[in-house]
Structure 1
Amino acid sequence: MERIRERVIQIYGNLVSLLQKCIFCILSVGLIPNHIAFIMDGNRRFTKKCKLMEGAGHKVGFSALMSMLKYCYEFGVRYVTVYAFSIENFKRSPEEVQSLMDLMLEKIEEILKEQSIVNRYGVRVIFSGNLKLLSEPVRLAAERAMLATAKNSKAVLSICVAYTSTNEIMHAVQESCEEKWDEITLLNSSGAGYGLISLGGYEQDEMDHLIKLTDVEKHMYMAAAPDPDIIIRTSGETRLSNFLLWQSANCYLYSPSVLWPEIGFRQFLWAILNFQRIHFYLDKLRKQS
């Protein structure tokens, strides 16, 4: 009886997989998004809703993430970004933060396994954010994962940890200024004794072109990925919560009402269909900006 049940489950799984592939073939006639980003909202609410042990929602949420990655890579999405841990999350209780760090460490180690989804689909993993804020074990594990997958070239997974967009922008501006420091010093020394703060006596066009937009963008944590085409935030929330503010000016924001652990193929499909429906309008906005 058990063998029959297992066989039925296997046949059902194969049929579902075949149906998904057929749907992807139909969808691929339209535009395939190059970059999808996820705000994984609702893990704690899922825990309370289902009356689970504390932290169980995040573990179920990891399974949901694996499903979303599988859909993305099978559909041909080259870049996927997930908002895993905000700098603001460090304000939670020490016990919860430690629990999340432990879970993150466990899942990073899973990424390194040969049979993991990352290796199966040839995915390069990048951890984006102020990694100095992470505990040493997590930071070292993240560095190992990036090194181990550095030669993978079929797709890119950016995991935003210890990240906020305002911190990213501040970091990029600081790095740009440090890079241009010699040039700034040279300009200042030729300014007849004016200080760096006042910068008086310079031609305006000299200062306007000292640090360019491209200088700032290349120092962004997310410099390795193009701007997202779609941002999916679960729980019905339409806030970006300090995520990819610089990069999301002209992307499609999809906010399904399900909590993150509940997200599935239907929500993924609806996000793609809506994106394909309005991508001409979004493309027009990009060209105008």
Structure 2
Amino acid sequence: MGIEYVTIYAFSIDNFKRKPDEVQSTMNLMQEKIEELLKEESVVTKYGVRINFWGNLSLLSQPVRLAVEKATVSTAKNSGPVLSVCVAYTSTYEIMRAIHKSCADKIGKIQEQYANGHDDGEEIISVADLEQHLYTLDCPDPDILIRTSGETRLSNFLLWQTTFTHLQNPAPLWPEFSLMHLVWVVLMYQKAYPYFKERRSKCKRMH
């Protein structure tokens, strides 16, 4: 179908507030699934998928963190589709992280401006600066965002990147989401594509 980038929301930072046994069972399952992806017969190996993991990975248990690091390193040179897994992630955290890193890059300029006792309105940190520090730097903004189970909220997922994204909320729960549902989602996007194309063009002209 020509889909080159897929990003999934596997585990939110807020999910760590759940019961400890529930968090632990999810971590165990995550480790198991990551290890399965690296087997020779997996879809990752077959199609040369490159895997990214986005989020505050220091919050993960050590076995999961090691599995994440192994998957990232072992697929880094793959040239096929890109699978990005948001784990220990929220968009709020991603944006705050980008702000902190941008400020660190510009700290000299900030100190100089305020040491002179004036603020001339000059832009110190730009949108481009922030985007250089987002996890999604090397990936295009998503065309489609699928929120299964009929939910109509983004739950702090890719808030910065979804300005011109087609949001869809099919009724099936994630385990029941099939190829048929995916094809339908793509068809709905194709129907709405002219509108999104026009909006993106207008935004580019304004910038």
TM more than 0.5: yes
CA distance in 2, matches of 1:211, 1:143: 31
- The residue number in structure 2 matching 1:52 is none
Q: State yes or no: 1:78 paired with 2:4.
A: yes
* Runs of 4+ deviating beyond 2 Å: 185-189
CA distance in 2, matches of 1:204, 1:255: 42
- TM, length-normalised to structure 2: 0.94
- TM, length-normalised to structure 1: 0.68
- The residue number in structure 2 matching 1:252 is 166
CA distance in 2, matches of 1:284, 1:145: 38
CA distance in 1, matches of 2:9, 2:119: 43
SS of equivalent residue, structure 1 residue 242: coil
Match among 111, 121, 127 for residue 204 of structure 1: 121
The share of aligned pairs that are identical, in percent, is 54
CA distance in 2, matches of 1:238, 1:287: 27
CA distance in 2, matches of 1:157, 1:217: 20
CA distance in 1, matches of 2:121, 2:147: 43
- Deviation of 1:203 (Å): 2.1
- Deviation of 1:184 (Å): 1.7
Structure with more relative contact order (C-alpha pairs < 8 Å, separation 6 or more): 1
1:126-159 deviation line (CA, Å, top 9, x unaligned): 0001111111111111011000000001211000
CA distance in 2, matches of 1:232, 1:156: 17
- The residue number in structure 2 matching 1:20 is none
SS of equivalent residue, structure 1 residue 80: strand
Partner amino acid, structure 1, of 2:146: I
CA distance in 1, matches of 2:44, 2:125: 37
Residue ranges of structure 2 left out of the alignment (5+ in a row): none
Residue ranges of structure 1 left out of the alignment (5+ in a row): 1-74, 195-200
- Deviation of 1:229 (Å): 0.2
CA distance in 2, matches of 1:161, 1:227: 18
CA distance in 2, matches of 1:202, 1:232: 43
Aligned residues: 203
1:177-219 deviation line (CA, Å, top 9, x unaligned): 0111122223333x0xx3xxxxxx13223xx2x1111110111
